[in-house]
Chain A
Amino acid sequence: MSAMDYSKLKNRSSWPFETIGVAVAFSPRLENILSEAKILSRQFNASLILMHVGERTRNKEHKLSDLMQKVGLDEKTVRVVWNEGEPVQTLLYLCKLNVVDLLILGAMRKENVLQYYMGTLARKISRKAKCSVLLLTEPSIGGSKFKKVVVNIAESPKTIHTLDTAIYLAKQVCSKEIIAASETHQPGLAMTMADDNTVSEVSRIRKDIKEQAHDKLNELLLACQGGEGIDISEKQVAGKPGYAIRAFATSKKADLLVINSPDVKYGIIDRIFTHGMEYILEDLPCNLLIVHSRIQA
């Protein structure tokens, strides 16, 4: 793959989604994914690119053409890109080349242990993509509903962009509710509290931690753009980052969980000592949007 001009990507806002890419894997769920892509591209008024990494054969061309017709995708306006190579790297390359703002992938909710540690295409792309990624756990012909959206409010400069993107998405897909949830986890707190604190001191420490988190969340909500007209509630969830938000999204029966893209490159060691986004990828609670804000954390 030749050197590319990334100037179009630099400082590009994480929203609006002007170009939506779809990874075409010819799986049994392809028809559903294409249907979802069609609906989303209309809702976001975005152009659509279908990308397949693998050999281009007559059979595949016919199959894709048939499916596109079936779901109502116009072959004249939808670009289809065929490319051979290592699937993950090639797909990432194609996304950059075509300035894709949102990549749509189908993903199993949970994978078996071997698949999880080896990493499937969807999970690998989620860890490495330089654009936002939407993992659809149960793509359907009628399109997924995103009525209840949970946004993970992490302590990161990326979060404001993630929240803005979530609000933009919620407006476009007519969501009813956004829950901005921050995770409170303080390593060493139990040890410190056990040392020499009175009951009132313990209560004060706990209260301070809660209030600090609440203030930060409020600051963020005030700073975000276009929140008017949408019901945004806030919530603090206790537990390890990644796991706590996953459990919260599950308990709330959320339709979509929105998180920041990872700050560091995730590898096998991060799956062994699971943390952060890996807890979510390990067992997807619902559809997942990973927002890549294209800024360095």
Chain B
Amino acid sequence: MPFKLGHQDLIILLLAISTMLILSRIVAELGKRFKLPVVMGELLVGIALGPTILGTLYPEAYDYLFPLATNPKVGYALDGIFSLSVIMLLFVAGMEVDLPLVLRQGKTAIYTGLGGMILPFFTGFAVAWWLPDVFGLHPEGQARLIFALFLGTALSISALPVIARILMDMNLFKTNIGMIIIASAMFNDLLGWLIFSFILSLGGNGASEMGIGTTIAWIIAFGAFMLFVGRRIINRVLPWVQNKLSWPGGVLAMSLGLCLVCAAFTESINIHAILGAFIAGIAIGDSVHLREQAREIIHQFVTNFFAPLFFVSIGLKVNFVENFDLVTVSVILVLAFVGKVVGASIGARIGGLNRNAALAVGFGLNARGAMEIILGTLAYNAGIIGKPIFVALVIMALVTSLTSGPLMRRFVKDNGEIKPSPDLR
């Protein structure tokens, strides 16, 4: 019998997708009134529709609409859509990494970015390596190393979309501080996703087949090819695509097609598909020929179709009540706040900012948002972490995103200026 969706399966699949899209949009719009991030609404919808609420209260309804375990055909179809969603999300995240901006901001952004990565990475790594019992885990050998590397990376990443939104709300978007925060977040994202791709390849069968050295060499070779050769080719082709082909169909097909080709390539060499998508995003987003309108269309398409599906799907897979562990959540929250705020602030101070500006930068970069959730989901799917740590990471992402703006306000005036600090340079 051919493995294809039947009439009833298709109906269920379409109903599941439409339910996720419509409900997440309604909740996001309601959340907007309270200045809550969209991703929070999407997660709440997932929790409501998943095993946490619907699965507990109305298990038949949950099994009918989201038969991830009971109907493998619908389960595979949904899984394919969720995988595509995360690839697309990483692609648009890459599109916003503006490497020249990091260079333009100079040493302040580099020091801040490095500070915001090094301290959280090492605190996370150290706790996971020496005190895994805190999380109720006893990993040995390579599993211990992978877990420690993952926790370090998970704590050091930032969420550019949330940060950009906070900066806009605070009139800091176009200021020097705003640019430093944006550039540092980009720097964090770039390094963070590179390291995470490596960790994922360690976690799967890839690195054990290829060897760690070969995996690293492939990552560097692919990144170098795309950023040096790929970017030049894109810069040649893009003007022609935008001017000679249908608008915006041509540029959409080219961008998304390239994203999927690169994702397929990295997946085929046993490095996760997200790396290909992320690097393809950087190469396309960096092009001076990419029209702002094209950039917005790609963002709208991904943010309003793939992002809700992905973030709702998180709640569908995990029971947040059953897997909530206060100790794990508390430890991860403390590590996240201390590592990022202190690390980024120290970096900003070394980079020449005064105390209040450095603290504003530290709290700004503390927002983890959607990126942390994506990272946690991928690690959970790869078996690097269990459900309690995954739940803790999601909570940490939400708490850091919600508190980032109010905590920054302590150091920033309403007009976007930094409040004077005693040791103003």
Contacts and interface: CB of A to CB of B under 8 A. Distances in A.
Contacts of A194: 296, 299-300, 302-304
Interface residues of B, number: 37
B241 interface: no
B182 A196 contact: no
B28 interface: yes
Contact of A196 (B28, B92, B100, B163): B28
A272 B102 CA distance: 13
B28 A270 contact: no
Interface stretch (A143-151, A224-232, A239-247): A239-247
Interface string B278-307: 000000001010001001100110111000
A195 B303 contact: yes
Interface in B71-101: 92, 96, 98-101
Given A240-B288, A264-B106, A188 B100 contact: no
Interface in B137-186: 160-161, 163-165, 167-168, 173-174, 179, 182, 186
A226 to B, nearest CB: 29
Contacts of B98: 187
A80 interface: no
A190 B100 contact: no
Contact of A193 (B163, B182, B227, B296): B296
B236 interface: no
Interface in B299-344: 299-300, 302-304
Given A195-B165, A240-B288, A273 B103 contact: yes
B160 A196 contact: no
A243 B286 CA distance: 12
Contact of A191 (B96, B100, B101, B104): B96
A215 to B, nearest CB: 12
B410 interface: no
Nearest to B296: A190
Nearest to B169: A192
A27 interface: no
Given A187-B182, A190-B296, A209-B174, A195 B103 contact: no
B413 interface: no
B360 interface: no
A195 B159 CA distance: 13
Interface string B195-234: 0000000000000000000000000000000011000000
A95 to B, nearest CB: 25
B106 A192 contact: no
A272 B168 contact: no
Nearest to B97: A187
A272 B182 CA distance: 21
B418 interface: no
A269 interface: yes
A189 B299 CA distance: 10
B295 A190 contact: yes
B417 to A, nearest CB: 14
A134 B236 CA distance: 30
Given A205-B168, A238-B292, A243-B288, A187 B96 contact: yes
A69 to B, nearest CB: 47
Given A187-B98, A192-B161, A193-B296, 10 more contacts: A187-B179, A188-B96, A188-B173, A192-B164, A194-B304, A195-B165, A196-B38, A238-B292, A241-B104, A275-B101
Report the 9 A-B pairs with minimum CB-CB distance, sorted nearest first.
A275-B100, A194-B299, A188-B164, A194-B303, A243-B288, A190-B295, A192-B164, A187-B98, A273-B99
30 contacts: A186-B173, A187-B101, A190-B295, A190-B299, A191-B160, A191-B161, A191-B303, A192-B161, A192-B164, A194-B299, A195-B38, A195-B303, A196-B28, A196-B29, A196-B32, A196-B38, A209-B174, A212-B174, A238-B292, A240-B100, A240-B288, A243-B288, A264-B103, A264-B104, A264-B106, A272-B228, A273-B286, A275-B103, A275-B104, A279-B288
Interface of B: 28-29, 32, 38, 92, 96, 98-101, 103-104, 106, 160-161, 163-165, 167-168, 173-174, 179, 182, 186, 227-228, 286, 288, 292, 295-296, 299-300, 302-304
